[in-house]
Chain A
């Protein structure tokens, strides 16, 4: 069974600073993927970044990077140089062989000017 845990209900960060959003996972699949999605107040789910379980290098997409520690089963999202537009809910998700994504409960990020 797959499970995603996001222990931070809410986070504050100052504009232009970096922030780390925590995510731990549990899965019985040998091959899996870890995803981060952003959900602004408009409700749309926006894909940010993906890490495959066999990828040796941490994924990066612009200001987003994924700190993947397989042994610890963690896949934390790092946002560098935070912007006001980054204020949103952030969801971590785990996808197995069938690409069925299991989502965590989310972290609400507030970027302060």
Chain B
């Protein structure tokens, strides 16, 4: 079974530029998450989708971050314009459904962003 795919793995941009990250979850997984992990910290949830609807985006800085999940499968996370403090690893995860019955979130390898 293929895992969660993310691209690009690494991206370096200058501040005020824009960047987009792509995620393809495990086939059949209804719930998709984007997490931001700043160096030395635990992952912080940015946005959670159930199919193509947003369940939680309370921690997403909406003035610069946007995310969409077209057709309830792939997702893109965009940052425009980027700030120095956006330097982090952006982790995508998926799970079968909302709720604890299935428990586990499956994570991709992450996209490491460096903003200069």
Contacts and interface: CB of A to CB of B under 8 A. Distances in A.
Interface in B57-102: 89, 91, 93, 95, 97-100, 102
B21 interface: no
Contacts of A95: 100, 103
A47 B44 CA distance: 17
Q: Interface residue tally of chain B, by bracket?
A: 20 to 34
Contact of A100 (B56, B102, B110): B56
Contacts of B31: 99
Interface of A: 4, 31-33, 35, 37, 42-47, 50, 52, 91, 93, 95-106
Interface of B: 31, 33, 40-45, 48, 55-56, 89, 91, 93, 95, 97-100, 102-110, 112
Closest 8 CB pairs of A and B: A103-B42, A45-B107, A50-B103, A33-B100, A47-B104, A103-B43, A43-B110, A105-B42
